Amino acid sequence: MRPRQFDLIAFDWDGTLFDSTALITRCIQAAVRDVGGTVPNDKDASYVIGMGLMQALAHVAPDVPQNLYPKLGKRYKHHYTKHQHDLALFDGVLPLLADLKQRNHWITVATGKSRAGLNEALHAVELKGMFDGSRTADETAGKPSPLMLHQLMHEFGVEPERTLMIGDTTHDLQMALNAGCASLGVSYGAHEPDAFHTLKPRFVAHSVRELHDWLSTHA
């Protein structure tokens, strides 16, 4: 077994471990339509995935007045809740996480979801006990602020150079850069990987298999 380079590995959730990008995009569009805003196209709607919910909706619907933000958030949750049980982990995620646990990495989640949303998702895919820790956007600062990574590093006593962030958006990779951590990008989620390179990820994986292979060799 190779020496371990990273003690703490933080995963984004949506679009990285959980195959939810298309549904979130549709739910954002439906929520904006419900409150009478200009419906964003797929690219603009998927761009905000990874941000905290209200930050994302405000960004993607600039013509919706602030007094309608609570309704906008409720409509998003309404649409998402109707279909959330149709979602699943990407193929290969379970053996990947099991291998990391076997190598004694601390594995965590750093997500733009709410705490309630993450707990529901973990329960749905029976991963309640898999992760050693997690941070959500409603209990700390949203991405790309480094605060959730700083908190996870503090919780486990791990330095930035021993921490790796894995995500599918520029928000994830910018957060890692802001925190002084290494990062990996995955190209099968919300953002096009062409935008990743300026954020200096160690690697961009085009499948969970590629991600697993890189982590087995380099992490």
Could you report the per-residue pLDDT of 163-194, keeping only the tens digit for each?
999 999 999 999 999 999 999 999 998 888 89
Per-residue pLDDT at 2: 64
The mean pLDDT value of the chain amounts to: 93
Could you report the per-residue pLDDT of 98-123, keeping only the tens digit for each? 999 999 999 999 999 999 989 988 98
160, 180 Cβ separation under 8 angstroms: yes
Maximum separation of any 2 CA atoms in the chain, in Å: 57
Give the pair of three-digit tokens for residue 35.
Answer: 């409150």
Residue 151 has pLDDT above 80, yes or no: yes
d(CA 106, CA 123): 20
At 191, the amino acid letter reads H
Q: In what order do the strands lie in the sheet with 182-186?
A: 133-136, 106-111, 8-11, 163-167, 182-186, 204-205
